[in-house]
Amino acid sequence: MAPAIPNCKFPSHSDPRVWLLSSGASPTGIALSRQLLAHGDFIVFGVIPSDTSDSFAGRAADFTAFWTGEVRVKEEWKTRARIVGLDTRNMGQCQAAVAEVVAIFRRLDVLFCCSSQAIVGTVEELSSTSRSTALIRDQFETNYFGHVNIIKAALPSMREKQSGHIILLSGITGHLGTPGLGVYCASQWAIEGFCDSLSYEVAPFNIKMTTVQPNLEINILTNQITAAPQLPQYAQENNPAPLFREIIGGLLDRVDAIATTNESSNGHCGLGKFSSDEIISVYPQLSEGTKSQLLAETVNALAAIGGHDNPPARHIVGHEAVASVKEKLKTVSEELEDFVDVSFAVDLHRQVGDHQQESGEEAQNL
């Protein structure tokens, strides 16, 4: 039985909102839309063909079952939901998706940027071959440029309306570096820096920007994971660092994930190959109960924050995520204090001012 969603801590919404989900077929998109449609909101699901094809059968089956078995059979839902083809890596599709939202529902209130994938591998492993190096570009095309494209496409409509809310689903990896997940973390830091800057630029147009940061596993376990071939120098017996490859392998084993594609075959492959010399891609196959429990806190926060008159610029979800970020900030603060004298020592203007003040005091004492 799925856990009950906790009560919203943010003021509830009385008016329906119009949402565009950049990855409507993702587990997060499906879970969030259930709550939004129940509230009375309008939703346009951005869906790329691979999300509804047989290439990733589990993901396609989940969205098809949701769309045909829930949305289309509820009279009060089906008139408020639409599907639009959307690959955020394609700027033309982003512009067309936003235009369709405005044409159907007359406005776009909330853009939810939730497209994501994770590339697993150390810096050296991702630089060892031309194919593994290409994974870096793939990572940024989805996790950075894709978000930039859909945000740029939405801004003119929101600016004209003098209202709008952009929500980025990131993670605590936007605060914390993770060994073996460096390129993924880099893409998160990049898009968060972009959105932080954007928030100041669009504030005069009454456009709000919120970055939501749940635990690491929210985005990792609900989207595609691709692992680069492992170098022997970074095997567990040779490198004691807590590399993410070993961590994610354990997580996937516990949730009975299945590998859906790799470069040599399209069949299922065991997770033992996650540390092989092949490039492996998997979609974690989670049970409905596991997904509900995993996403409950995040979905609750998103539904409450979306379209809020005064939303937070950054919202960290869950006790574990809050504790991790606090620990990182504590470390930064302690290191700052440890080397504060060194930091001030290079402040030449301060030194000149102190010297002039000392000279003045000496002159007065004469």
DSSP string, 21-63: ETTTTSHHHHHHHHHHHHHT-EEEEEE-GGGGSGGGHHHHHHH
Distances (CA, A) of 338 to 311, 331, 334: 35, 11, 6
| Residue range 82-97: mean pLDDT, rounded | 96
Surface-to-core class of residue 218, CB atoms within 10 Å of its CB (0-12 exposed, 13-18 middle, 19+ buried): buried
Please tell me which of 59-73, 81-95, 284-298, 302-316 the model is most confident about, judged by mean pLDDT.
81-95
The predicted model gives 274-279 an average pLDDT of: 71
Asked if pLDDT for residue 334 goes beyond 70, the answer is yes
Q: Poorest-confidence range of 10-14, 149-153, 225-229, 346-350?
A: 10-14
Q: Which residue has the tokens 């594609």?
A: 261
Are 41 and 16 a contacting pair, CB within 8 Å?
yes
Q: Does residue 47 contact residue 25 with C-beta atoms inside 8 Å? A: yes
- Indicate whether 57 pLDDT > 70: no
Q: Which of 244, 92, 108, 81 is nearest to 167 (CA)?
A: 108
Using an 8 Å Cβ cutoff, are 255 and 221 in contact? yes
**Alpha carbon 26 to chain centroid distance?**
12
Q: How many Cα neighbours within 13 Å face the side chain of 85? A: 6
Per the structure block, which two tokens stand in for 152? 């740029």
Q: pLDDT, tens digit, for every residue of 195-224?
A: 999 999 999 999 999 999 998 888 888 888
Q: To the nearest 10°, the Cα dihedral for 71, 85, 102, 69?
A: 0
Query: CB–CB of 21/150 below 8 Å?
Result: no
- Look at residue 355 in the predicted model and tell me its pLDDT: 57
Q: Give me the pLDDT at residue 350, please.
A: 61
Distance CA 4, CA 236 (A): 39
CB–CB of 85/98 below 8 Å? Answer: no
The fraction of the chain above a pLDDT of 90, given in percent, is 44
Provide the H-helix boundaries in 204-318: 216-220, 244-254, 288-305
Cα separation, 111 vs 99, whole angstroms: 13
The model's confidence at residue 253, banded by pLDDT at 50, 70 and 90, is low
Using alpha carbons, select from 83, 87, 76 the residue that is nearest to residue 115.
87
Q: How confident is the model at residue 270 (pLDDT cuts 50, 70, 90)?
A: very low
State the pLDDT at residue 360. Answer: 60
The pLDDT score that the predictor gives to residue 290 is 80
Is the predicted pLDDT of residue 32 greater than 90, yes or no? yes
Return the pLDDT at 268: 37
Evaluate if pTM is beyond 0.85: no
pLDDT, position 260: 41
pLDDT of residue 309: 86
- Closest of 302, 44, 35, 63 to residue 167, by C-alpha: 302
* pLDDT at 281 exceeding the cut of 60: yes
Strand partners, 281: 226, 261
The per-residue pLDDT for range 336-355, each reduced to its tens digit, is 888 888 888 877 666 555 55
pLDDT at 323 over 60: yes
Task: Say if residue 272's pLDDT is above 70.
Answer: no
Instruction: Report the alpha-carbon distance of residue 297 to residue 320 in Å, rounded.
Output: 12
**Phi, psi (degrees; rounded to nearest 5) at 244:** -65, -25
Q: What is the pLDDT of residue 162?
A: 96
pLDDT tops 60 at residue 364: yes
First to last CA, the chain: 85
Question: Would the pLDDT of 10 be above 60?
Answer: no
pLDDT band at residue 319, thresholds of 50, 70 and 90?
confident
Tokens of 247: 């961590």
* CA 291/CA 270 separation, integer angstroms: 22
Average pLDDT, the chain: 83
Q: What is the mean pLDDT of the segment spanning 49-55? A: 58
When mean pLDDT is compared across 6-15, 68-77, 175-184, the lowest value belongs to 6-15
In this prediction, residue 70 carries a pLDDT of: 92
Give the pLDDT of residue 343.
81
